[in-house]
Structure 1
Amino acid sequence: MPTNVQRREQAKRKLERQLVRRQERAKRRRIGAVVTTVVAVVAATGVVYFLATHDFGSSTDTAASSTAAKPITIPTEVKALPKRPTPLADPVTCEYRTSKEPSAKEGTKAPEATGISSTGTLTATIKANIGDLKLTLDKSLAPCTVNSFVNLINQKYYDGSTCHRIGTEGLQMLQCGDPTGTGQGGPGYAFDNETWPELTYGRGYLAMANAGLDQETQKGTNGSQFFIVYGDAQLSPDYTVFGSLDEAGLKLIDDVARAGHDGSFDPSPGGGKPNKEVKFESVTVG
């Protein structure tokens, strides 16, 4: 049976062991706290690095960068204007029909329709933000179209309008003539195509845009919108050619084409709004 001294010694040793265990546990806790702190710091550093280096641009920005202007090939040879297989009578009578949609500019009137000359040429100048575009209008190709175009110029219909569409692949053209800038606007009247089966297209041509034949009347849907062919244009002969753009003007259009477009008209009819804006400040004849 242990004596009091022995019991005191045993109690002392037990207390010493407990103190040692407590110190070891406290040490482990301190080590754990340090490790936790280090992990937290590393994690925080990683987050800061991620925030500092990661690009949080919107999906639209990403899409825009992925559809940046691609290098395009533009023919340099200007194609001579075509000639009609059979000359038209002189003068001619045109038909300008009221269209279903009102004019994009209130008060626009249709031109005179009788006694329209089908010989000779006129010149017109588009003063645009990109420079002057000098046009030659050929009445022997499309007298009713030239008559309408001059009529709209004289009413300042095109002044202040922008070209709403450019194509850079397949069909290389710049489309203009809608004051609304949407591709939906017209002058409030329509007239027929002035084409022939052998008609082809090439660099430098001015041609009328249209929406095909009217389903009810089976007549033409030409209005105010036109396009400038600056390169390839493998089109069926359904678009009235009425003049040409000079070489200096074509080079200005080339620069617009190389800047690309926003793809807003893809996949059909193709192309999009030019990335480099083309705005008509004024258009004059003579």
Structure 2
Amino acid sequence: MSEPGDRPGGDGPNGAPPPGPGYGGAPHYPQQPHQQGFQYPRWQPPVPPKKTSPAAVVLISGSVVVVVVMALAFLAWGYPGFLRDDDVKSAIGTGPPPSPPSTTTTAPSAAYTLPSNGRARMPQRPKPLADPVTCAFTPDPASPAPKKVAPPPDGPAPSSGTVPVRLATSAGAIGLTLDRALAPCTVVNFLSLVKQGFYDGTSCHRLSVTSGLQMLQCGDPVGDGTGGPGYTIRDEVFPELTYGRGILAMAKSAEPDSGGSQFFLVFGDTRISPEYTVFGSIDDAGLGVLDDVARGGIDPAKPGIGDGSGPPKVPVTCTQVTTP
């Protein structure tokens, strides 16, 4: 390497050729440009460094991103608590089955005892409905009916009068009286299902004897609380509604206007919010049948829904439902 002050091409200090024969010990420089055997290299301007191509930049950046993502993925799944919520719970299904709500008490009573206050008074609307009222029934394609049935036609329905219905079941006969003044459209729907034989062969799938919710739920063609007629009906409720021994009401999901075919028969203490349409009452003989089913309790060999209710130990199947 040249030191500062050296001239290129020489072997001695300052680029001078070393002393030797023919030079007489004195420096001798050949003339230019007629130099024989040696020439100084032509000066060239410095060449700037080559720039990295866009493709190379993309390739390098992509490699870095892949490495970072792989590192984060390893930390997220291999290191507890990093970028991960260990308490996340997965949802099962599309929603709760149509049911009256459970109470805060989750354990069923050790033994069912008859209510001491007798039959509950039927609720009454503070203001009578117009007569007739207009009913509408909404198709529910997300929940097709296991049993093919036609919804009632939309249109007017009377809001006065009562209709008797008889439920012949495997546990005994249960007499009902439907009240149009309470829920005219619900009565129209129930009678339509009865006339089409929808309830024949269906089971009462849910019994609750827990204090605050003592009822038997029926009307599901599937038999597990998820079935319906393939359409929904509107709620016909009011704030003064109460539920007690002898009340007949419609079941539904947590969503409004989600009832269809499921109903529940109240035989004891039931304290729930006025969200469930009351549309009739149960006769004394039917209450006796329900008492026998309640005394039998819940079948522990069959799955419940986690609130102390479940399939009754005494099976209840609707063999035939009829009107006069």
Does the TM-score normalized on the shorter chain lie above 0.5?
yes
Deviation at 1:262, TM superposition (A): 2.6
Match of 2:143 in 1: 101
In structure 2, C-alpha distance between the alignment counterparts of 1:115 and 1:220, rounded to whole Å: 18
CA contact (8 A) 2:109 2:209 kept: no
* Secondary structure of the corresponding residue to residue 93 of structure 1: strand
1:267 is matched with 306
In the alignment, what sits opposite 1:243? Answer: 280
- Aligned match of 2:265: 228
Task: Note the alpha carbon deviations across 1:132-170, whole angstroms, 9 max, x for none.
Answer: 111000000000100000000000000011100000013
TM-score (norm 2): 0.63
Deviation at 1:112, TM superposition (A): 1.9
Q: Does structure 1 retain, via aligned residues, the 8 Å contact 2:243–2:271?
A: yes
List runs of 5+ in structure 1 lacking aligned partners. Answer: 1-66, 214-218
Equivalent position amino acid for 1:200 in 2: T
Structure 2 residues without counterparts, runs of 5 or longer = 1-106
Q: 1:192, 1:102 → 2: CA distance?
A: 18
**Quick one: which amino acid aligns to residue 304 of structure 2?**
F
Find the aligned partners of 2:164 and 2:129 in 1 and give their Cα distance. Answer: 21
- Partner Cα separation in structure 2 for residue 166 and residue 125 of structure 1: 20
Deviation of 1:98 (Å): 0.6
Letter in 1 for 2:215: M
What is the one-letter code of the residue matched to 2:187? V
Match of 1:205 among 224, 244, 247: 247
After superposition, the Cα gap between the structure-2 partners of 1:166 and 1:220, relative to the gap in structure 1 and judged at 3 Å, is: same
Q: CA deviation at 1:266?
A: 4.2
Shift of 1:104: 2.3
Rounded to whole Å, the distance in 1 between the matches of 2:153 and 2:270 is 32
User: What SS does the aligned partner of 1:178 have?
Assistant: coil
Q: Offset of 1:238 from its aligned partner?
A: 0.3
RMSD: 1.6
Matched ranges for 1:52-63 at <5 A: none
How far, CA to CA, are the matches of 1:105 and 1:94 in structure 2? 23
Alignment counterpart, residue 220 of structure 2, candidates 178, 203, 206:
178
Instruction: Report the 3-state secondary structure (helix = DSSP H, G, I; strand = E; otherwise coil) of the residue aligned with 1:227.
Output: strand
C-alpha contact 2:203 2:223 (8 A) present in aligned 1: yes
Structure 1 counterpart of 2:152, from 111, 135, 139 = 111
Identity of aligned residues (%): 47
For residue 206 of structure 1, report the CA deviation from its aligned partner.
Answer: 0.4
Q: Does structure 2 retain, via aligned residues, the 8 Å contact 1:206–1:228?
A: yes
Q: 1:241 to 1:68 in 2, by over 3 A?
A: closer
1:72 has 2:112 as partner: yes
Structure 2 CA distance for partners of 1:68 and 1:82, relative to 1, 3 Å:
closer
Any conservation in 1 of the 2:125–2:240 contact (CA below 8 Å)? no
User: Which structure has the larger Rg over C-alpha atoms?
Assistant: 2
Aligned to 2:11: none
Greater helix share, 1 or 2?
1
Task: Please tell me the residue identity of whatever aligns with 1:74.
Answer: L
Separation in 2, partners of 1:115, 1:93 = 4
Following the alignment from structure 1 to structure 2, what is the Cα–Cα distance between the partners of residues 242 and 158?
17
Contact 1:69-1:261 within 8 A present in 2 as well: no
Residues 206 and 226 in structure 1, CA contact (< 8 A), matched pair in contact too: yes
Question: Is the counterpart of residue 192 in structure 1 residue 234 in structure 2?
Answer: yes
Deviations 1:205-247 (A, max 9, x none): 000000022xxxxx41010000000001000000000001101
Distance 2:184 2:254 in 1: 20
Counterpart position of 1:282: 320
